[in-house]
């Protein structure tokens, strides 16, 4: 696999060593998860580390006592046997207790990390969230969150118990032949570099794979999500999408196989070296027994000590290696958790009510987009007024609302709230005063209560307020018909869910906005899925609700906006016309052209006028 400079930098030795600097954080994370369980796990691991050598010594005593039973009597054998049996049982119990506590700890740890990731995700700005690098980091963090920190902990623990076993087993051998212990400890280090390299490569493959993995996830999402199902079925995209998914998977498999092969080859070489060393040392021990230097029980103890030292020093090395690899992955988790949350507000003024909104020469470019989505936009609106924003697709209408709601805050010019720059207010506080229905509103596959109550989470269980919002959105008869009223599950994803139509979902989203006692109500294409009658009701309610508040709506239906106090016509991010309907019609500009064109497109102009005359009460 060819590596570029960036790849080499990521997996350089220096970087791996640096990644150990996250250990204090990992330990803090483990400690904060459940320190009592952590201490218990550490203590049991230590005991587990010592127990093999104790068992070995007790076995040696038992065999030697059998050899000399004729001089010492059966009681000696019995005592040695009971000791061995009791300790074996204790060590088994230690193992069981350890796996019990570990299994609980693992669940707690995974949950803690997932929570951290979720909390971080929602704290990000929309700009960061839409960034594909951030999405990659998020995916990597999510992928690794479940198991890496726990593996690190397990690895650390088995290192502790491995070191204890190794020291005690090697000490037995040092007494016999010091050089045997030395060789056994040294040999695994010879494999260190090869396995480190393979581990680095493995990380690199996983790291570079993230964008493709997200794509694979997306293919599978397209095929398994109910919202896409109809279209996938209708256009018979299933086979094509499965093929795309498979192609990606085949690529992953090839890479994984090449790493597995490298590991296998290195494993065979080092296993052979180990076997030769092992056999040679066994011969030395057997020969010592043959010349009566050691007793038969000691032969058993030494041969086991050789195997133990060898396997422990080997697993010590592979433990260190996988720690390096886990570190590289975990670093990505911390990189995500450390992503800076953009907070440019220094002065946090309190806001009691939004009375006026003024855009002054506001221009804005999306990140990675050289073209201005908004250019020198200026307007002012005050309480009790409604403003309609119209314009072609992509003219910047939604972007305008994204700036007002501070989903993006790095715009040029300024937005004034009650005459004070929007940058002086806390974003959360400001949003508390606004209710928005975006074009791509969320369809929460939850109960009707939550779908509406999410507009004001503190009032979720105030059914009277929820029902008010339901009435305002004109879905009272729909809610009445639901089997459990407000507490009916809606959507198709979960059990007993009642599916709604597109327009009904939209009205639920509108009820959600009405649920909020806001000073500014923003509806982005509120009528896109509504039939004319529903649209009429919604607009009527909207105008009622606005009363002394500010109402902004974006629409493509010119006929439905003509009673707005301000009409803003945008084109390519610029305000090209601004005024009341009559004024704009008199101007004979783009607005009047578009209005007339749309009116002509309706099969019955009279009917249309009749319908919208009702909205204004001018019939
Ligand atoms: N998240 C984004 N990142 C980059 N560019 C974007 C993003 N969202 C919108 N744009 C671009 O900004 C411009 C304005 O988009 P916006 O969504 O504000 O248009 P709109 O007037 O609301 O359109 P529509 O009527 O289709 O809803 C478009 O050219 C669009 O491609």
Question: What are the beta bridge partners of residue 415?
Answer: 359
> CA 504, CA 466: separation in Å to the nearest integer?
16
Nearest residue by C-alpha to atom 6 in ligand 1:
366
Instruction: Indicate if ligand 1 lies below 6 Å from the C-beta of 366.
Output: yes
Rg of the chain's alpha carbons, rounded to an integer?
A: 36
Instruction: Indicate if ligand 1 lies below 6 Å from the C-beta of 56.
Output: no
C-alpha of residue 401 to centroid of ligand 1, in Å: 11
> CA 550, CA 521: separation in Å to the nearest integer?
6
> CA 198, CA 219: separation in Å to the nearest integer?
30
C-alpha of residue 408 to centroid of ligand 1, in Å: 13
DSSP secondary structure letter of residue 339: P
> CA 31, CA 24: separation in Å to the nearest integer?
10
Nearest residue by C-alpha to atom 4 in ligand 1:
366
Which atom number of ligand 1 is nearest to the Cα of residue 525? 27
- Report residue 129 as tokens: 């969230």
Which atom number of ligand 1 is nearest to the Cα of residue 570? 21
Which helix (H) or strand (E) covers residue 388, if one does? strand 386-391
Instruction: Indicate if ligand 1 lies below 6 Å from the C-beta of 396.
Output: yes
Instruction: Indicate if ligand 1 lies below 6 Å from the C-beta of 393.
Output: yes
- Counting ligand 1 atoms within 8 A of each CB, the residue from 135, 389, 397, 553 with the most, and so the one to mutate, is 397
Edge to edge, what strands does the sheet with 550-554 contain?
A: 434-437, 520-524, 550-554, 386-391, 566-571, 574-579
C-alpha of residue 437 to centroid of ligand 1, in Å: 16
pLDDT < 50 positions in the chain: 1-3, 603, 605, 607-619
The pLDDT of residue 252: 93
> CA 204, CA 197: separation in Å to the nearest integer?
11
Residue 610 CB partners (closer than 8 Å, separation 6+): 619
User: To the nearest 5 percent, what fractions of the chain are helix, strand and coil?
Assistant: 70, 10, 20
Instruction: Indicate if ligand 1 lies below 6 Å from the C-beta of 367.
Output: no
- Report residue 211 as tokens: 């964008």
Instruction: Indicate if ligand 1 lies below 6 Å from the C-beta of 398.
Output: yes
> CA 121, CA 137: separation in Å to the nearest integer?
11
The pLDDT of residue 233: 82
Instruction: Indicate if ligand 1 lies below 6 Å from the C-beta of 609.
Output: no
Nearest residue by C-alpha to atom 28 in ligand 1:
394
C-alpha of residue 399 to centroid of ligand 1, in Å: 6
> CA 247, CA 234: separation in Å to the nearest integer?
23
C-alpha of residue 253 to centroid of ligand 1, in Å: 39
- Counting ligand 1 atoms within 8 A of each CB, the residue from 365, 395, 402, 438 with the most, and so the one to mutate, is 395
Instruction: Indicate if ligand 1 lies below 6 Å from the C-beta of 130.
Output: yes
Nearest residue by C-alpha to atom 31 in ligand 1:
394
Nearest residue by C-alpha to atom 29 in ligand 1:
394
Nearest residue by C-alpha to atom 24 in ligand 1:
393
> CA 237, CA 243: separation in Å to the nearest integer?
10
DSSP secondary structure letter of residue 350: -
> CA 143, CA 129: separation in Å to the nearest integer?
17
- Counting ligand 1 atoms within 8 A of each CB, the residue from 373, 375, 568 with the most, and so the one to mutate, is 373
C-alpha of residue 366 to centroid of ligand 1, in Å: 9
> What does 226-273 look like in DSSP terms, one character per residue?
HHHHHHHHHTT-HHHHHHHHHHHHHHHHHHHHHHHHHHHHHHHHHHHH
Distances (CA, A) of 66 to 70, 81, 87, 293, 597: 8, 10, 19, 18, 108
Is-contact 16 203, C-beta < 8 A? no
Is-contact 142 116, C-beta < 8 A? no
pLDDT in tens, 250-260: 999 999 999 89
């Amino acid at each position: 696999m060819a590596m570029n400079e960036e790849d080499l930098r990521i997996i350089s030795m220096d970087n791996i060593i640096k990644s150990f600097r996250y250990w204090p954080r990992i330990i803090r994370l483990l400690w904060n998860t459940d320190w009592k369980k952590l201490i218990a796990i550490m203590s049991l691991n230590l005991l587990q580390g010592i127990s093999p050598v104790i068992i070995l010594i007790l076995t040696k005593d038992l065999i030697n006592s059998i050899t000399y039973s004729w001089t010492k009597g059966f009681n000696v054998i019995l005592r040695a046997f009971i000791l061995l049996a009791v300790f074996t049982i204790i060590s088994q119990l230690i193992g069981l207790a350890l796996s019990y506590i570990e299994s609980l700890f693992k669940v707690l740890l995974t949950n803690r990390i997932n929570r951290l990731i979720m909390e971080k995700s929602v704290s990000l700005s929309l700009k960061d969230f839409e960034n594909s690098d951030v999405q990659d980091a998020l995916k990597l963090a999510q992928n690794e969150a479940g198991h890496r920190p726990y593996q690190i902990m397990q690895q650390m623990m088995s290192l502790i118990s491995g070191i204890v076993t190794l020291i005690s087993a090697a000490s037995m051998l040092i007494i016999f032949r010091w050089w045997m212990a030395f060789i056994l400890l040294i040999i695994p280090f010879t494999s260190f570099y090869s396995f480190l390299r393979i581990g680095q490569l493995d990380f690199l493959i996983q790291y570079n794979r993230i964008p493709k993995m997200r794509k694979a996830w997306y293919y599978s999402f397209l095929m398994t999500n109910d919202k896409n199902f109809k279209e996938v079925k209708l256009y018979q995209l299933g086979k094509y999408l499965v093929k795309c998914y498979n192609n990606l998977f085949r690529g992953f498999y090839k890479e994984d196989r090449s790493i597995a092969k490298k590991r296998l080859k290195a494993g065979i070489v080092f296993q052979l070296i180990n076997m030769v060393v092992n056999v040679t040392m066994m011969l030395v021990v057997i020969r010592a027994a043959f010349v009566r230097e050691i007793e038969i029980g000691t032969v058993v103890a030494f041969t086991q000590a050789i195997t133990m030292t060898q396997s422990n020093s080997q697993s010590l090395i592979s433990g260190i290696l996988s720690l390096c690899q886990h570190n590289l992955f975990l670093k990505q988790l911390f990189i995500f958790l450390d992503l800076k949350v953009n907070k440019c507000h220094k002065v946090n003024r309190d806001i009691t009510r939004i009375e006026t909104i003024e855009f002054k020469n506001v221009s804005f470019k999306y990140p990675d987009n050289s073209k201005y989505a908004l250019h020198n936009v200026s307007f002012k609106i005050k309480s009790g007024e409604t403003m309609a924003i119209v314009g072609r697709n992509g003219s910047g209408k939604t972007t305008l609302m994204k700036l007002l709601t501070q989903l993006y805050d790095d715009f040029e010019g300024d937005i004034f709230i009650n005459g004070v720059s929007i940058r002086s207010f806390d974003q959360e506080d400001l949003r508390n005063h606004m209710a928005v229905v975006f074009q791509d509103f969320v369809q929460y596959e939850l109960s009707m209560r939550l779908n509406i109550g999410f507009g004001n989470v503190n009032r979720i269980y105030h059914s009277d307020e929820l029902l008010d919002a339901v009435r305002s959105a004109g879905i009272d008869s729909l809610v009445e018909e639901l089997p459990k009223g407000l507490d009916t599950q809606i959507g198709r994803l979960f059990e007993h869910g009642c599916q709604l139509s597109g327009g009904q979902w939209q009205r639920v989203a509108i009820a959600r906005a009405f649920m909020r006692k806001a000073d500014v109500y923003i509806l982005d294409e509120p009528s896109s899925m509504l039939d004319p009658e529903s649209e009429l009701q919604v607009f009527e309610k909207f105008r009622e609700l606005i009363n002394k508040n500010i109402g902004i709506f974006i629409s493509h239906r010119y006929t439905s906006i003509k009673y707005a106090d301000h009409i803003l016509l945008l084109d390519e991010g610029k305000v090209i016309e601004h005024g009341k309907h009559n004024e704009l019609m008199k101007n004979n500009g783009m607005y009047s052209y578009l209005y007339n064109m749309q009116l002509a497109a309706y099969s019955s102009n009279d009917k249309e006028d009749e319908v919208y005359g009702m909205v204004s009460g001018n019939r």
